[in-house]
Structure 1
Amino acid sequence: MPAMHILGLSGSLRRGSHNTGLLRAAAHSLPSGVQLEVFDGLRDLPPYDADLDVDPAPPAVAALREAIADADGILISTPEFNGSIPGVLKNALDWASRPFPDNALRGKPVAVVGASTGLFGAVWAQADTRKVLGIIGADVLDGEIPVGQAHHAFGEDGQLAEPELRDALTDLVSVLAARAGAAEAKAA
């Protein structure tokens, strides 16, 4: 039986991103038989434009949609820009939401986490991202992991330094894997 596949999307393009680091920490927290792949093509997506949303889709868009469709579940890690979702992540979700309603995210289990250098760990961006995903039709998990002061939140091993955050991340990705497994079994 092939491993369950979770796709990680980081809302930060920055080299050394705390949110990409949070996805890597999540990969170490996954249950046995579950793997996480971080998608690295958000930088290549053009701004959403309905005139470009044709068949065949632009290559970067097709790659995103295919990666989402092939995944059993999605884990999104978002920073907070000006109190909301970073433009690059919102743009990716706009592309992934098409064609509506039969898009690759429809019914797909998705969890949202976030890290920021501020005190609140991107809670507004996480809430806005869950709202957008719900409108798209994803199966959005409740719960958030706010990693505040992210520049101090990770140990030298790349793991979350605070045991409560590590445990919360492990719990959330375990629920995501279980929900993805249940969706896969239902579809079979």
Structure 2
Amino acid sequence: MTKIAIICGSNRKQATTAQLCRHLEQVLVNKGCQVIFLDLYSLPLPLYSPDVECDDANLAIFKNGLNEADGIILATPEYHGAPSGVLKNALDYTGFAQFDGKVVLSASSTGGPVGVSSLQQLQTIVRNVHGINCPEWISIGGENRIFTPEGEPANQKTRERVLHTLQYFVKMVETFSSIKQ
């Protein structure tokens, strides 16, 4: 069974990033994947410092989830053209051990039309920890950030785009996972 870790990189209680992540989780579970959901709002991490050895329990959960995953989804709101500070802080704790050879899908939910700047920055981080960027990404913005009571994007084209992107991503994860083993 393919294991996917979803990192929800928002630090806001009712974040559309979290709604998007929960929708991604449901689609992946329906496709037969096992999902490790790492929500940085409910799993806060201490501020990263390379000078301090950190034995935080939340950090152990976070790193173990990534270590177990075959593929990773990084989801963020976009603040001032960049990923959220909580996601960047969490990623500063990671490295090759968590990402090397794993396919990574980047996703954003932004108040503007699209969150391209944050996605490009996430892809740069992924390259630097030897992850494999999925060439597709998910970016929802503006009125496309509305979700139904069932947790799906209200916009049909957004739902279709998410489904297409996740199918592509899962196929990539399965292909690269089989090569790695």
TM-score scaled by length of structure 2: 0.89
Query: How much has 1:134 moved relative to structure 2?
Result: 1.2
Partner of 1:51: 51
Task: Write the mapping of 1:19-168 to structure 2, written as runs, cut at 5 A.
Answer: 19-30=17-28, 32-41=31-40, 43-53=43-53, 57-97=55-95, 102-120=96-114, 122-149=115-142, 152-168=145-161
Secondary structure of 1:103's aligned partner: helix
Q: After TM superposition, which residue ranges in structure 1, 4 or more long, deviate above 3 angstroms?
A: none
Secondary structure of 1:39's aligned partner: strand
* CA distance, structure 1, for counterparts of residue 35 and residue 143 of structure 2: 21
Paired residue type of 1:166: R
Query: How much has 1:184 moved relative to structure 2?
Result: 2.3
Query: How much has 1:18 moved relative to structure 2?
Result: 0.4
Secondary structure of 2:150's aligned partner: coil
Relative distance call for 1:180 and 1:81 in structure 2 (3 A) is same
Paired residue type of 1:106: D
Query: How much has 1:146 moved relative to structure 2?
Result: 1.6
Over the aligned positions, Cα root-mean-square deviation in angstroms equals 2.0
* CA distance, structure 1, for counterparts of residue 122 and residue 40 of structure 2: 19
* CA distance, structure 2, for counterparts of residue 40 and residue 28 of structure 1: 15
* CA distance, structure 2, for counterparts of residue 48 and residue 152 of structure 1: 31
Query: How much has 1:72 moved relative to structure 2?
Result: 1.3
* Cα-to-partner distance string for 1:16-54 (whole Å, 9 max, x where unaligned): 110111011112323622132321356431111112246
- Structure 1 residue runs without a partner (length 5+): none
Paired residue type of 2:37: V
- Structure 2 residue runs without a partner (length 5+): none
* CA distance, structure 1, for counterparts of residue 39 and residue 137 of structure 2: 23
Paired residue type of 2:71: G
Q: Conserved in 1, the CA contact under 8 Å of 2:21 and 2:75?
A: yes
Relative distance call for 1:78 and 1:150 in structure 2 (3 A) is farther
* CA distance, structure 1, for counterparts of residue 171 and residue 104 of structure 2: 12
Q: Conserved in 1, the CA contact under 8 Å of 2:144 and 2:158?
A: no
* CA distance, structure 1, for counterparts of residue 104 and residue 67 of structure 2: 12
Q: Conserved in 2, the CA contact under 8 Å of 1:96 and 1:103?
A: yes
Paired residue type of 2:69: A
* CA distance, structure 1, for counterparts of residue 64 and residue 103 of structure 2: 16
Q: Conserved in 1, the CA contact under 8 Å of 2:144 and 2:154?
A: no
Q: Conserved in 1, the CA contact under 8 Å of 2:4 and 2:70?
A: yes
